Structures are given as C-alpha cells and as structure tokens.
Structure 1
Amino acid sequence: MNYFAHGMRFVDRPYYMVGTALPDLMAVVDRRARLRIKNVAPFVSEEPTIEAELASGIKQHLDDDHWFHSTQGFLEISTDMSILFRQIFTHDESARVGFLGHIVTELLLDRVLIEQNPGLIDEYYAAFSEIDPLQTEIATNKMTTKETDKLKLWLAQFSKEAFLRDYLDSQRMLVRLNQVMNRVKLQPLPVETISVLNTGRKIVEKRLNDLLPPEHF
C-alpha cells in the first residue's frame, strides 16, 4: 500500500493518519531511523495523546502491509506490471523490473483511490496541516531505532508539495517515479513508462477489490 491507501480512512484523526504515513516517510527522511513494531507497540493505546495516535497509525500501516503484500491480487498485478516493464527493458537484464512492478502497483493504487473518492485528497492534506511537525518528530523519535532531526522539515514539505496530486496524471507520475529511482540510485525510466502507467491504471481499477479485500479494508 502507499500513503493515501493507508491514511484515507483516518482523515478525521490527523495524528493517527500521519502515523500511517511514517514508516514510508522515514525511509525517505532517514533510513537509519526505523520504525519496528517492538519499539512502537508499547506506545499503542486508546489514550488521545500524540504518541498513542502516532503509534496506533504506525501499527495500522505495518498490519496493512502484512496482509496487502500477501494478497493474490497484489502478487498477480505486481507481476503483470513487472512483465510490462520487462517489455520496455528487453535488452537490459539489469533493470529492476520486480522492484518496479511492486512500487508502481502501489502508486497506481493511490491514483485509483484518489480518483474514486473526489475531495478526499483535500481532506487528507487538510488533516496533515493540522499536526505539529515538531511534536510529531519528538514523539516519533521515542519509537525509532535512531533519533532524527529531519522529520519535522519533511512533514512540512510533504504537506506543502502535495505530490500525491501528481499521481492523477501519468506524465507527472513518471516525474515522481524518477525521483524515487534517483533516490535508490537506479537509472531513470524512459518516456515509454507512461504507456505502462496508463495500462497499469486500468488493471488496478478493474481489480481493486482483489487488492483491497473488503474483509481487510
């Protein structure tokens, strides 16, 4: 799953919602500052505190990822996407088509959910603007494997940049995807990727219930 898929159900609980974004966001902010369930679990409670809400959201993310990546739908669709990328990189055996199939399936899931829930992306970012970045960083550092002083700045940038909106256009999604490729030190994707994104969007839309079974989501 990805940012919007994890958090869209919790826009009425801003810190919980931000908690659902933190495992992915921390991988960008500071890869050494990991969020492990053993460190997060002691802070999970029903108390309406920043720490408890963040911890509950983080746990929600980790639980969601566990079932999501095990679904038949994700396995099949991410494989389909990998095959589409292999057709682009026919003569490049080093291309990480498995990685691309995985991450693009998640990005396209966010795209379809944003499309199917008009106005909810506005509520999502409005909820992000309600949190205190410094207090969020302080609380999160109690649960990470290593403290970081970079999170508060990233939280402000995440809300300001609102990059999830770019997912609604395949060309802009490619720009965002190539930012990921640069971050993980892989070659940028060619313009042909746009056709893969367009085809993949139709696949994800058609099989949305296979990706997000009602008993889980």
Structure 2
Amino acid sequence: MNYFAHGMRFVDRPYYLVGTALPDLLAVVDRRVRLRMKNVIPFTGDDSTIQTEVASGIQQHLEDDHWFHSTQGFLETSTDLSLLFRKLFADDEYARVGFLGHIVTELLLDGVLMDQNPGLIDQYYAAFEQIDPVEIEQATNKMATKNTDQLKLWLVHFSKEGFLRDYLDSQRLLVRLNQVMKRVKLQALPAETISILKTGRRIVEKRLDDLLPPEHFESQLIERKQL
C-alpha cells in the first residue's frame, strides 16, 4: 500500500495519519532510518499523546503492508503489470519488471482511491497542516533504528508539494515514477509507459475489492463507482 491507501481512513486523526506515512516517507528522507514493529509497539497504547498516535499510525502501516502484500489480488495485479512491463522491455533482460509491477500497483491504487473519494485528498493534506513537524521528528527518533534531523523538513515539503494528486493523471504519474527510478538508481521509463499506466489503472479498478478485502480494510469508507 502507498501513502493515501494507508492514511485515507484517518483524516480526523492528524498525528495517526502522519504515522501511517512515516515508513514510506523515511525511505525517501534516509533509507538507513527504519521503523521496526518491535521498536514501535512499546509506544502504542490507549492514550492520545502525540507519541502514541504516531506510533499507532506506524503500527497500522506495518500491519496493512503485511496483509496487503500477501493478498491474491496484489499478487495477481502486480504480476499482470509486471508482464506489461516485460513486453515494453522485451530487449532488456535486466529490467526490474517485478519491482515496477509492485510499485506501480501501489501508486495506481492510490490514484483510484482518490478518484473514487473526491475531496478526501484535500482532507488528507489538511491533516498535515495541523501537525507539528518537530514533534513528529522527536517521536519518530524514539522508535527508529537511527536518528534523523531531516524528517521535519520533509514533512513540510511533502505537504506543500502535494504530489499525491499527480497519481490521478497518467502523464504526471510517469514524472513521479521516474523520480522514484532516479532515487533507486534505475533507468528512466520511456513515454510508452503511459499506455501501461492507463491499462494498469483499469486493472486496479476492477480488482479493487481483491486488493482491499473488506475483512482487512474498512471498505465502508470507500464510495464505490459502478465499473
């Protein structure tokens, strides 16, 4: 799962919502800084302190990822997308098509959820405007494998940039995807990728209930469209 899928259910709990974004955000800020469940659990609880809300949001993310990546829907959808990328890179046996199938499934899922829940992305970003980035960084450093002094700056940048909205458009999504490719030191994707993103979006729409099974995901919060 990606940022919006993790956090869309918690727009009324800003620090919890930001907690759901932290494992992915730290992968951008500093890949050496990790959040492990065993280090996070001691800080969760029933109170509503900033530390507890952030920790509980992180726990939510880690638990979500555990079931999401093991669902039949994710395995089949990411495989379908990997095969589309394999056709695109038929002459490149070293292309990371498995990685692409995985990450593009998650990005497209965010886009589909935003499309089917108009206005919720505005509430998502509004929640970020209610938090204190310094408090978030301090809470995170108590749980992370390494300390960081960059997180507070990235939280501000994440909120101002608003890049999740780009996931709604295939051309803008390709720009964001190529930023990821650059960050992980892989070759940029060609313009032909847009066709795969459009096809992939339709696949994700059709497989939405398989990707987010009601027994795991609070699907009553998702306004379904007739496909």
SS in 2 for 1:67: helix
Structure 2: stretches of 5+ with no match in the other structure: 218-227
- TM-superposed CA distance for 1:32, in Å, is 1.2
Distance in 2 (CA, whole Å) between partners of 1:9 and 1:34 is 24
Say whether residues 1:133 and 2:136 are aligned partners: no
Structure 1: stretches of 5+ with no match in the other structure: none
Distance in 2 (CA, whole Å) between partners of 1:46 and 1:177 is 38
Counterpart amino acid of residue 142 in structure 1: K
Q: 1:73-152 to 2 correspondence within 5 Å?
A: 73-152=73-152
Distance in 2 (CA, whole Å) between partners of 1:112 and 1:216 is 18
Identity of aligned residues (%): 78
Between the two proteins, the alignment pairs up a number of residues equal to 217
Aligned position for 2:161: 161
| TM-score normalised per structure 2 | 0.95
SS in 2 for 1:91: coil
Distance in 1 (CA, whole Å) between partners of 2:137 and 2:101 is 32
For the aligned residue pairs, the C-alpha RMSD in angstroms reads: 0.4
Counterpart amino acid of residue 172 in structure 1: R
Say whether residues 1:71 and 2:71 are aligned partners: yes
SS in 1 for 2:129: helix
Distance in 1 (CA, whole Å) between partners of 2:129 and 2:203 is 33
Q: 1:178-217 to 2 correspondence within 5 Å?
A: 178-217=178-217
Say whether residues 1:4 and 2:4 are aligned partners: yes
- TM-superposed CA distance for 1:194, in Å, is 0.2
Structure 1's consecutive aligned runs of 4 or more residues displaced over 3 angstroms after TM superposition are none
- TM-superposed CA distance for 1:31, in Å, is 1.1
SS in 2 for 1:7: helix
- TM-superposed CA distance for 1:34, in Å, is 0.5
CA distances 1:179-215 after superposition (whole Å, capped 9, x unpaired): 0000000000000000000000000001100000001
Say whether residues 1:18 and 2:2 are aligned partners: no
| TM-score normalised per structure 1 | 0.99
